C-alpha cells in the first residue's frame, strides 16, 4: 500500500493506493483556511496543513480498511511557489505566503531588472521570474518584516515542509524547486548568486534544502510521526514534488505527445519534454518534471476560484450553477468576462482586476453570467496553450483534471474551444494519485534500480471513457469568434498584454 498526499490551496487530500490491485482503496480531504488581505495578500498557517494531513490520513486509511503495516511509502504533492521560512527550531517565522499571493509584484519587477531583464533571467534560470514565485516573497519578507527575515534558518516550499515534518530532513527536488526563482531549471541546481541578489544576508548553504533526484527518498518517517499515524518506523517518504508535476504523473503525462490541463483553483496546461525547453514566450515556464524530465507549463490564476466567486455571489449551489451554464448559448449572448479576481499570471497582469463587458438589459441573466465566467477562465487556458507553439501543434487529446473536470458542460466547452478531444482520468484528483505512484516508484527502486514509473502509470492510470468530450465543428467555429471577442476585450483593457 502507498499513500499519496496533495496539499492544495483549499484542502489536503490523501489517497491509499493498492499497487497489486491497481486501484485507490480510500480517499479523504480536510479544508484549509485562506488568509486574504488588501494588495493581493494570500497566506496560510502551515500548522493547518499538518492538522489536515492527519485528519485526512485517518479517514482515508479507515475507508480503505487496511492493515497500516502494509503501507510501504508516502509521497507528497504541494501547491507550488509557497514560501515556508523556518527558524532554527523548525518553526515558521511568518505565515506561508502562497502561489496566488500578488502582494509581492513590486519586488518581482525589481528582481527581474536586477537580474538583467527577461534575457538575464533566461540565462541564469532558464525561465523568467513571475509574481507568485518564491523569490519575490523572500524579498518582500526582507523588506517588510526584517525581524522575521533575520530569524530564517531554512527556506522551504509547502511540499518540502511536509516532507520535513514527516522525516526531519530538509530536502528538495527539481520539479518543485523550478518555481522558486533561484533554481536553474536546465542544470538542475540552486543559483546561489541569484539568491544573493534576493537575500544577501542569507547563507545559501545553510538555508536552501539539499537537492535530491525525483526517484530518491526524502528519508524515512520520524518515529514520533510513525506513532501518531500508526505506521511502521521503516516507511519511506519519496521526494514528492509540486502539484503540477505530480498531477502530470497522475494523468500518465510522463512522455511526449500528451497535454494535461487542470481546472483547479488555478489553471495549468503542461506537456512533458525529455529536454529543457525555452519557448518564445516568457509566460511559459521551463519547469523540471518530477520524473527526471521537463514539464513546460503555463499557469493561470483564476479558474474555480473565479467560478466559485460568481456562484456564491448569485447564491447558487453547484448543481444549479451547472444548470445555468448549460442554459446559456456559447458566447453567453455577448457577455464577456475577464475573471482576474486574483490578478493574473498568463497574461502577465499581476495587478489586474476582474471585469464584465457586453452587458445589456436583454442579456443580463444568471445563465449568461455563469457561462461567461467559465468561458473566461477557459479562454485564459486556451491563450496559454497557444503560447506552447510547436509543443501544442497536433495535440488531439487533452487529459483534464481538477474540480472543474467533473462538469460535463465544462469538459465539452474545453473540447470546443481547443478543438481537441478531452478526457479525464478515472481519478481526477491526479496530484494525490501521482504522489502515491511516485512513492511506489521510489520504493521499487530500493530493490531494482531499473524500476519503471511508466510501467506503474500504465497499470494504474485509467481513462474514463464516459467523460470523453469530442469537439463539435459548429461550436468550434462559434468559439473562434467568441475567443476573438475575448482577445479584443483583453487587448482593449490591457494594451500591453501581448508582450511576452
The catalytic site residues sit at 243
Per-residue exposure over 165-191, b if at least 16 CB sit within 10 Å of its own CB, e if not: bbbbbbbbbbbbbbbbbbbbbbebebb
418, 132, 377: which is closest to 263 by C-alpha?
377
What element of type H or E holds 367? helix 366-386
Extract the C-alpha cell encoding 185: 531549471
CA atoms within 13 A on the CB side of 189: 6
Rounded Cα gap, residues 341 and 227, in angstroms: 43
Rounded Cα gap, residues 30 and 6, in angstroms: 11
Rounded Cα gap, residues 379 and 371, in angstroms: 12
What length is written for the chain? 500
Cα separations in angstroms, 340 against 43, 347, 352 = 19, 10, 6
53, 57, 66: which is closest to 15 by C-alpha?
57
How do 241-242 and 84-86 pair as beta strands? unpaired
Would you list the DSSP string of 443-466?
A: HHHTT-TT--HHHHHHHH--EEEE
Rounded Cα gap, residues 206 and 188, in angstroms: 18
338, 341, 378: which is closest to 358 by C-alpha?
338
Report helix, strand or coil for 341.
strand
CB-CB contact of 80 with 270 (8 Å): no
Extract the C-alpha cell encoding 247: 498531477
Rounded Cα gap, residues 109 and 106, in angstroms: 5
Residues 6+ apart with CB under 8 A from 208: 155, 172, 182, 190, 195
Rounded Cα gap, residues 102 and 351, in angstroms: 7
CB-CB contact of 335 with 363 (8 Å): yes
Cα separations in angstroms, 320 against 312, 323, 377, 413 = 11, 5, 19, 18
Report helix, strand or coil for 355.
strand
Amino acid at each position: 500500500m502507498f499513500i499519496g498526499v496533495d496539499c492544495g490551496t483549499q484542502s489536503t487530500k490523501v489517497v491509499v493506493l493498492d499497487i497489486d490491485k491497481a486501484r485507490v482503496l480510500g480517499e479523504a480531504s480536510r479544508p484549509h483556511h485562506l488568509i486574504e488581505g488588501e494588495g493581493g495578500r494570500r497566506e496560510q498557517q502551515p500548522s493547518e496543513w499538518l492538522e489536515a494531513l492527519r485528519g485526512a490520513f485517518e479517514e482515508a486509511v479507515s475507508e480503505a480498511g487496511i492493515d497500516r503495516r502494509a503501507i510501504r511509502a508516502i509521497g507528497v504533492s504541494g501547491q507550488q511557489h509557497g514560501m515556508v521560512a523556518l527558524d532554527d527550531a523548525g518553526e515558521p517565522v511568518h505565515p506561508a505566503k502562497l502561489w496566488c499571493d500578488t502582494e509581492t509584484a513590486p519586488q518581482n519587477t525589481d528582481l527581474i531588472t536586477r537580474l538583467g531583464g527577461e534575457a538575464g533571467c533566461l540565462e541564469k534560470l532558464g525561465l523568467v521570474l513571475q509574481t507568485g514565485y518564491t523569490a519575490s516573497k523572500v524579498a518582500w519578507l526582507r523588506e517588510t518584516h526584517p525581524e522575521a527575515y533575520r530569524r530564517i534558518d531554512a527556506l522551504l516550499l509547502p511540499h518540502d515542509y511536509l516532507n520535513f515534518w514527516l522525516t526531519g530532513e530538509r530536502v528538495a527536488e527539481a520539479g518543485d524547486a523550478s518555481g522558486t526563482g533561484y533554481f536553474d531549471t536546465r542544470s538542475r541546481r540552486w543559483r546561489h548568486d541569484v539568491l544573493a541578489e534576493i537575500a544577501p544576508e542569507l547563507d545559501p548553504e545553510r538555508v536552501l534544502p539539499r537537492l535530491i533526484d525525483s526517484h530518491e527518498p526524502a528519508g524515512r518517517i520520524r518515529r514520533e510521526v510513525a506513532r501518531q499515524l500508526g505506521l511502521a518506523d521503516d516507511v519511506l517518504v519519496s521526494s514528492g514534488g509540486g502539484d503540477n508535476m505530480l498531477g502530470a504523473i497522475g494523468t500518465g503525462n510522463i512522455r511526449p505527445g500528451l497535454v494535461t490541463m487542470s481546472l483547479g483553483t488555478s489553471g495549468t496546461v503542461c506537456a512533458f519534454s525529455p529536454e529543457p525547453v525555452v519557448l518564445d514566450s516568457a509566460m511559459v515556464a521551463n519547469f523540471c518534471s518530477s520524473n527526471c524530465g521537463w514539464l513546460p507549463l503555463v499557469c493561470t490564476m483564476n479558474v474555480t476560484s473565479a467560478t466559485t466567486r460568481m456562484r456564491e455571489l448569485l447564491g447558487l449551489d453547484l448543481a444549479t450553477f451547472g444548470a445555468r451554464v448549460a442554459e446559456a448559448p456559447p458566447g453567453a449572448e455577448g457577455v464577456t468576462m475577464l475573471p482576474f479576481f486574483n490578478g493574473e499570471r498568463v497574461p502577465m497582469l499581476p495587478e489586474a482586476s476582474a471585469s464584465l463587458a457586453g452587458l445589456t438589459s436583454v442579456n443580463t441573466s444568471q445563465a449568461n453570467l455563469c457561462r461567461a465566467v467559465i468561458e473566461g477562465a477557459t479562454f485564459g487556458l486556451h491563450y496559454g496553450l497557444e503560447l506552447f507553439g510547436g509543443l501544442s501543434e497536433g495535440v488531439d487529446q487533452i487529459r483534464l483534471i481538477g474540480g472543474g473536470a467533473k462538469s460535463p458542460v465544462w469538459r465539452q466547452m474545453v473540447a470546443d474551444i481547443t478543438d481537441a478531444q478531452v478526457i479525464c482520468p478515472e481519478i481526477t484528483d491526479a496530484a494525490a494519485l501521482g504522489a502515491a505512484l511516485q512513492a511506489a516508484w521510489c520504493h521499487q527502486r530500493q530493490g531494482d534500480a531499473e524500476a519503471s514509473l511508466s510501467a506503474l502509470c500504465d497499470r494504474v492510470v485509467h481513462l474514463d471513457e464516459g467523460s470523453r468530450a469530442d469537439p463539435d465543428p459548429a461550436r468550434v467555429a462559434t468559439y473562434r469568434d467568441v475567443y476573438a471577442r475575448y482577445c479584443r476585450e483583453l487587448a482593449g483593457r490591457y494594451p500591453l498584454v501581448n508582450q511576452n
